[in-house]
Amino acid sequence: MSSSEPTIANRLSCPFCESDSEFFEIAEDALITTYFKQNQDGSFTASDQSTEILGNVRLFCGNCGEALDEYHDRFKEMIF
Ligand SMILES: [Zn+2]
């Protein structure tokens, strides 16, 4: 009998370091617009921000930093 904990078959793990908990994306070319309101005393407070990504977005392992491009489509499908 070898029934251990149930595992989710499609859990993503880094093939380089086997970490499966932290990942990050880098947008290579993005247009970031930040809107400010000027206060009475002349200072500014950011009120809104919009980001338009123009280039590629790449996925990386948050532990070892290796690029995980081949897993990116799967990654995007699993963001909730
Ligand atoms: Zn890794």
Q: How far is the CA of 52 from the centre of ligand 1 (A)?
A: 28
Q: How far is the CA of 54 from the centre of ligand 1 (A)?
A: 26
Q: How far is the CA of 22 from the centre of ligand 1 (A)?
A: 9
Q: How far apart are alpha carbons 25 and 73 in whole angstroms?
A: 12
Q: How far is the CA of 20 from the centre of ligand 1 (A)?
A: 8
pLDDT in tens, 5-23: 666 677 899 999 999 999 9
Q: How far apart are alpha carbons 18 and 68 in whole angstroms?
A: 12
pLDDT in tens, 36-78: 999 999 999 999 999 999 999 999 999 999 999 999 999 999 9
Q: How far is the CA of 13 from the centre of ligand 1 (A)?
A: 8
The bridge status of strand 57-61 relative to strand 44-53 is unpaired
Total-model pTM: 0.69
